[in-house]
Amino acid sequence: MAKNVTVRTLAKMKQAGEKIAMMTAYDYPTARLLSEAGVHILLIGDSLGMVVQGQTTTVPVTLDQMIYHASMVSRGATNGAMVVADLPFLTYQVTPEDAMRSAARMMQEGGVHGLKLEGGKELAPTVSRLVQAGIPVMGHIGLTPQSVHAFGGFAVQGKTADAAMRMIEDAKAIEEAGAFAIVLEAVPAEVAAAVTEQLAIPTIGIGAGPQCDGQVLVFHDFIGYTSGYIPKHNKRYASIAETIVTAARQYVDEVKSGAFPGEEQTVHLQASEQEAFQDLLQRKGERRG
């Protein structure tokens, strides 16, 4: 990417039928590599609570933690990628004023280009308030992980005709409030396609089928850095966990055997300094005697 990706870029991509690639990032080196690879949007997701911190949900993640990770990603996005951050649980849902304060900190301290908020039409007034203040907002409907306890688990949303229609209404409300894009998570492909067709703003799918205007993956799932259950919508493009375990075992073996560090990893004093050092050691030994 030669030019910076902006909200205008994304709008033009939707109009042209060009797909948008988004991926999560939580630190500087990851952001730098993904930006270099041409990923359009880097998302500092509160998913970091689960894939980085080892939490069972995203609920425990704090605003300070999000800002910390966002600041690293913002510094690493050196090749034009747009940087978007989640506002975490209950930092924006209570009042629009709370949302403004949280957004101000994330934009100023985190250095991001936009924010992602979970929720449907009930969130529209907050989205509108932020947009009026000049803050780009990405919506997020369907399975909204911050509401996992209300859903009773990580389940597909919009599986009935009525639920699907409510999702379309939610999406339209978020669009009308001024959002520049909207994430559709864990939604039947037919519903996601209908939402995508009816919106002028881009849709970014995760477990929502191929008809969305773009897709997003969690970085740790993408590279095979996690273990255990793999959601159906994830695709692993590498197996980094296996590589790390194999390399770590080799390291342990070489430390035990003395093969590491070898001569290539060892620095020696110059001959003249070795003599001087030995002389000093000898004198110190004599003084102790």
Q: Could you please report the per-residue DSSP string of 16-79?
A: HT--EEEEE--SHHHHHHHHHHT-SEEEE-TTHHHHTS--SSSTT--HHHHHHHHHHHHHH--S
Annotated binding site for Mg(2+): 46, 86, 118
Report if residue 1 sits inside a domain. Answer: no
- The encoded tokens of residue 222 equal 């993408």
Q: How far apart are CA 184 and CA 283, in angstroms?
A: 74
Q: How far apart are CA 38 and CA 247, in angstroms?
A: 29
Q: How far apart are CA 174 and CA 99, in angstroms?
A: 15
Q: Are residues 98 and 85 in the same domain?
A: yes
**Mean pLDDT calculated for residue range 270-289:** 84
Report if residue 178 sits inside a domain. Answer: yes
Active site members? 185
CATH of the domain at 71: 3.20.20.60
Tokens 């959002």 identify what position?
A: 179
Q: How far apart are CA 242 and CA 238, in angstroms?
A: 9
Q: Are residues 130 and 233 in the same domain?
A: yes
User: Looking at residue 263, what DSSP letter applies?
Assistant: G
Report if residue 203 sits inside a domain. Answer: yes
Q: Are residues 134 and 267 in the same domain?
A: no
Report if residue 2 sits inside a domain. Answer: no
Q: Are residues 31 and 71 in the same domain?
A: yes
Q: What is the mean pLDDT of the chain?
A: 93
Residues 167-211 have pLDDT tens digits of 999 999 999 999 999 999 999 999 999 999 999 999 999 999 999
| Confidence at residue 144, expressed as pLDDT on a 0 to 100 scale | 85
- Cα 231 vs. chain centroid, distance in angstroms? 17
User: Looking at residue 210, what DSSP letter applies?
Assistant: T
Q: Are residues 208 and 260 in the same domain?
A: no
CA angle 151, 44, 19 (to 5 degrees): 90
CA angle 148, 19, 154 (to 5 degrees): 10
| Confidence at residue 119, expressed as pLDDT on a 0 to 100 scale | 95
Q: Are residues 15 and 29 in the same domain?
A: yes
Q: Are residues 214 and 249 in the same domain?
A: no
Range of the domain at 216: 7-239
| Confidence at residue 84, expressed as pLDDT on a 0 to 100 scale | 98
Q: Are residues 262 and 231 in the same domain?
A: no
pLDDT above 60 for 289: no
Annotated binding site for 3-methyl-2-oxobutanoate: 46-47, 86, 116
- Cα 122 vs. chain centroid, distance in angstroms? 25
| Confidence at residue 228, expressed as pLDDT on a 0 to 100 scale | 67
Q: Are residues 271 and 213 in the same domain?
A: no
Closest by CA position to 95, among listed 123, 115, 116, 74: 123
| Confidence at residue 205, expressed as pLDDT on a 0 to 100 scale | 97
Q: What stretch of H or E contains 115?
A: strand 114-116
Q: How far apart are CA 246 and CA 265, in angstroms?
A: 21
| Confidence at residue 3, expressed as pLDDT on a 0 to 100 scale | 85
Annotated binding site: 46-47, 86, 116, 118
Residues 113-161 have pLDDT tens digits of 999 999 999 999 999 999 999 999 999 999 887 877 666 655 677 789 9
Q: Are residues 273 and 212 in the same domain?
A: no
| Confidence at residue 220, expressed as pLDDT on a 0 to 100 scale | 95
**Mean pLDDT calculated for residue range 93-112:** 96
| Confidence at residue 199, expressed as pLDDT on a 0 to 100 scale | 98
User: Looking at residue 270, what DSSP letter applies?
Assistant: -
Report if residue 21 sits inside a domain. Answer: yes
| Confidence at residue 145, expressed as pLDDT on a 0 to 100 scale | 79
| Confidence at residue 159, expressed as pLDDT on a 0 to 100 scale | 85
Higher per-residue pLDDT: 226 or 269: 269
Residues 20-41 have pLDDT tens digits of 999 999 999 999 999 999 999 9
How many structural domains comprise the chain? 2
Q: Confidence class of residue 44 from pLDDT cuts 50, 70 and 90?
A: very high
User: Looking at residue 139, what DSSP letter applies?
Assistant: E
Closest by CA position to 44, among listed 108, 88, 10, 100: 88
